[in-house]
Amino acid sequence: MPPAKKVDKDDIIKVAYKIADKEEFENINARRIAKELGCSVQPIFHNFTSMEELKNATIERIHNTYEQYMKKGSEEKLAYKGMGMAYIKFAKEHPKFFKVLFMRETSLTTSNFIRADNTGNDVIKMGQKLTGFDEKEQIKFHTKVWIFTHGLAMLVATNTCTLNEDEISKMLETTVRELLIGYKKNNEGKKDT
């Protein structure tokens, strides 16, 4: 009889990640993973105390992928726009991952949702370079930008409409510019009163 196949944590997470990328996150279960790995469920529960622990590790791997997209976006000449484009690109290329991270029920406020991790904080900092706003003002402004960007990302992730990269880029750029002009004009009026 051949020796039992050695399966480690990373092998298991890779399979769960692959399932979550191609199907639905809910399809991650011990039997399915064991079948993909060609083993029993025993190695899964040897490496993880529960399916919840495995799913959390998978979400962490998904989040790492998202962070790679955002880091690449932050390296663009127009970093704030680059990060918006990266957010939408992530949604387009990994719609199931986007759903897991950004289309779920949460009790967070919009600003807390945006700043739930370091990536959100990086977006705020890049936005400050563009607008010149202090952090508090940038969070208010970015909330409006994020709602628009998130809407585009959801349209792309769900194939609600087809938009190419150039269309998305132009929409994002003009909308952010218009929002910024309107935001500054609105706030100038408030200072005068």
- What tens digit of pLDDT does each residue of 56-102 get? 999 999 999 999 999 999 999 999 999 999 999 999 999 999 999 99
User: Residues with Cβ < 8 Å from 51, sequence gap 6 or more?
Assistant: 28, 29, 30
For residue 191, what pLDDT band results from cuts at 50, 70 and 90?
Answer: low
CATH number (1.10.10, 2.115.10, 2.30.30, 1.10.1760) of 9-48 reads: 1.10.10
Domain definitions of the chain by residue range = 9-48, 65-192
- What tens digit of pLDDT does each residue of 108-132 get? 667 667 766 778 889 999 999 999 9
CA distances for 43 relative to 1, 27, 32, 49, 114, angstroms: 18, 19, 13, 11, 37
Q: Do the Cβ atoms of 15 and 36 come closer than 8 Å?
A: yes
Give the Cα separation of 89 and 91 in Å (integer).
5
Helices (H), 94-159: 95-102, 110-114, 118-131, 135-157
Residue 5 has pLDDT above 70, yes or no: no
What is the pLDDT, as a whole number, of residue 157?
95
CATH 1.10.357 fits 65-192, yes or no: yes
- What tens digit of pLDDT does each residue of 128-155 get? 999 999 999 999 999 999 999 999 999 9
Give the Cα separation of 25 and 28 in Å (integer).
6
What is the pLDDT, as a whole number, of residue 4?
57
Eight-class DSSP state of 2? P
Token readout for 155 is 């349209």
What is the pLDDT, as a whole number, of residue 1?
41
Average pLDDT, the chain: 90
